[in-house]
Amino acid sequence: MKRSILTFSLLAIILCSCNNDKNKSVDPSASKDTVVAVNPVTAAINLLGSYVGSFGDNKITLLITKASNDTIEGRSVVGGNDRPFKGTVTELNGKYNIVANEPGDDQYDGSFNFTIDAAQPDLVKGTWKPNKPTETLKEKEYSLQRKSFRYLQDVGEFPEASKRLLKEEDVENLMKPELERMRNEIFARHGFCFKKKTLREEFENKDWYVPNTIDIKNALTDIEKKNIVLIKRYEKYAEDYGDDFGR
């Protein structure tokens, strides 16, 4: 009798196990290549940030500022031209494909199509197509590297402008180009994306500079704000008095 009960119990367990396996079976219509909406938390980790690299004869900063559900927003800064973009993002086998458009009200606007692989989240590869192609404005391919921004006070030629309140003797003997560099270094330390091409070229060669934002008003410290006012005042003096100003 005991053997019959044991045999029945084992048979019941086997049948339940088989039924559970059937319930867990994958829908044959599903595919591992199915495109799915992006998880906003994952997107924020894998997509947000600054990507920098060559863009034809210029350099580009591709700044992704928002990624939620299946939408994406950001800005591109090329040769001093700062443009917003919006688009969609989809995920396929761990790769994020982004299609985004600039507004279209500028002659240099176009559309971005690029991919970020979750296995290589610091690399962006893609193309950009102008809305109005010309002989000089053509489709471009690019490969960009993510740069992680970190605010540093002790970098640059004039780090004191971010570390302490400047005195008049700190600036009164500087010429206008030096004063301009001192002031713009403050912005560069905060990752400001310069519109002026000459400034971009100047700072892009600095290892510590990471273009990261177009608005630093709320990031500037009280010390930096006061120093900017002082520096600009002496820049005006240098412009007015020319060779008679400074050393």
pLDDT, one tens digit per residue, over 66-104 is 888 789 999 998 876 889 999 999 988 888 999 999 999
Convert the pLDDT of each residue in 111-144 to its tens digit.
999 999 988 989 999 999 999 999 989 999 999 9
- Asked if residue 59 lies in contact with residue 52, where contact means CB atoms within 8 angstroms, the answer is yes
Determine the Cα–Cα distance for residues 102 and 214; give it in Å rounded to an integer.
Answer: 16
Break the chain into its structural domains and give their ranges.
Answer: 40-147, 160-244
Architecture of the domain made up of 40-147: Beta Barrel (2.40)
pTM: 0.65
Give the best-scoring range by mean pLDDT among 47-51, 135-139, 158-162, 215-219: 158-162
In degrees and rounded to multiples of 5, residue 71 shows phi and psi of -115, 160
Contact predicate 89/43, CB 8 Å? yes
Same fold: 40-147 with 160-244: no
Kindly report which listed range (24-33, 92-101, 134-143, 206-215) carries the lowest average pLDDT score. 24-33
Question: What CATH number has the domain spanning 160-244?
Answer: 1.20.58.1690
Can you tell me the distance from the alpha carbon of 55 to that of 60, in angstroms, rounded to the nearest whole number?
6
The structure tokens listed for 240 are 């007015």
